[in-house]
Structure 1
Amino acid sequence: MSGGPKYEYKWADGEKFKKPASLPAHEYITHLMEWVEKQINNEDVFPSNPGVPFPKTYQGICKKILTRLFRVFVHVYIHHFDKIVSIGAEAHVNTCYKHFYYFVRTFKLVDPKEIEPLREMSEKICK
């Protein structure tokens, strides 16, 4: 999946894709959403019973999930924003992005180097 001319995101999940693989965006995103669902439904990672502690790896897993989800924003803004504008959804997508951006930046959940592809846009719309 491409994040513009400087960025290529390869998929690896440690199971089916042990080595990072170049995939078209729709396949990358499909694998990503399935992987995120698997993580969220894993009681060892996200326990749902009161009193069950979160694992020591919890924050790292959350960072990985949010970093990979951020890459979808990168791809959409760089490759499909004209389509979003054409259907009148720009304000909605920007609002969704801003909420995501403020959350991950406030809690330092996505490394600043990952945000670089959308840095200029983020500086403009996330004042």
Structure 2
Amino acid sequence: MSAGRRLEPTEISAHEYMSLMQRWISDKIDDVKLFPTDPSTVSFAPNASYVSATVLSVPESEDWVGRRSGFPKEFASTCRTIFLQMFRVYAHLYWSHLVDPFYHLNLEKQLNSCFSHFILTATSLDLLCAEDLKPVQQLVDLWAANGTFPPGSKAYSLAHVQSGEQLMQCGLEV
């Protein structure tokens, strides 16, 4: 793993990486400053006093996703980082463990279901982009071609459907 250009990369096992990542995500989700839980601070009604007094008087440059409900400015970027970390775990599972244990235990359909829903959600919320999907591009292509991703979805638009169709013609199924 790497922590930037100035620091030496540190190799850690996938298990250790996943444990650290899980702990980091849990800490973020449990942080009430990042994920507010006080219902009195939530404002979703267009005529709420918070909206008229605060949001409407704020210049557009000072507005951000979740501001109206008390989420901090870094909320969207933190969510993207969380999704990137989770994506890396999925990519590792496909690259290193699809056959053993998932296929051998007849669990590949459950993995595919979870991951395809993850991709559909992450891409529709712009938490993952085309560049992020490169490690699993062939899988995205295949799922677009076989109908797992609906044609109107963002995930479908990020796929190379013709490549997926060629994979299907070769008899490849995941």
Please tell me the TM-score bracket, short chain as reference. 0.7 to 0.9
Distance in 2 (CA, whole Å) between partners of 1:116 and 1:47 is: 33
Does the alignment pair 1:26 with 2:44?
Answer: no
For structure 2, list consecutive stretches of 5 or more residues without a partner in the other structure. Answer: 43-69, 150-174
Shift of 1:11: 5.8
How many residue pairs are counted as aligned between the two chains? 113
Distance in 2 (CA, whole Å) between partners of 1:11 and 1:49 is: 36
Higher relative contact order (CA 8 A, sep 6+): 1
Greater Rg over alpha carbons, structure:
2
Q: Could you tell me which residue of structure 1 aligns to residue 29 of structure 2? A: 40
Distance in 1 (CA, whole Å) between partners of 2:9 and 2:128 is: 20
For structure 1, list consecutive stretches of 5 or more residues without a partner in the other structure. Answer: 1-9, 13-17
Per-residue CA shift, 1:97-118, capped at 9, x if unaligned? 0100000111110132121010
The list of structure 1 runs, each at least 4 consecutive aligned residues, that deviate by more than 6 angstroms after superposition, is none
Query: How large is the RMSD of aligned CA atoms in angstroms?
Result: 1.7
- What is the aligned counterpart of 1:90 among 86, 101, 108? 108
Per-residue CA shift, 1:27-60, capped at 9, x if unaligned? 0000000000000000110010021600011000
Shift of 1:20: 5.3
Distance in 1 (CA, whole Å) between partners of 2:113 and 2:2 is: 27
- Over the matched positions of the two proteins, sequence identity in percent amounts to 27
Distance in 2 (CA, whole Å) between partners of 1:44 and 1:20 is: 31
Shift of 1:119: 0.6
| Residue pairs, 1:1-127, within 5 angstroms | 10=1, 12=3, 21-50=10-39, 51=41, 53-83=70-100, 84-125=102-143, 126-127=148-149
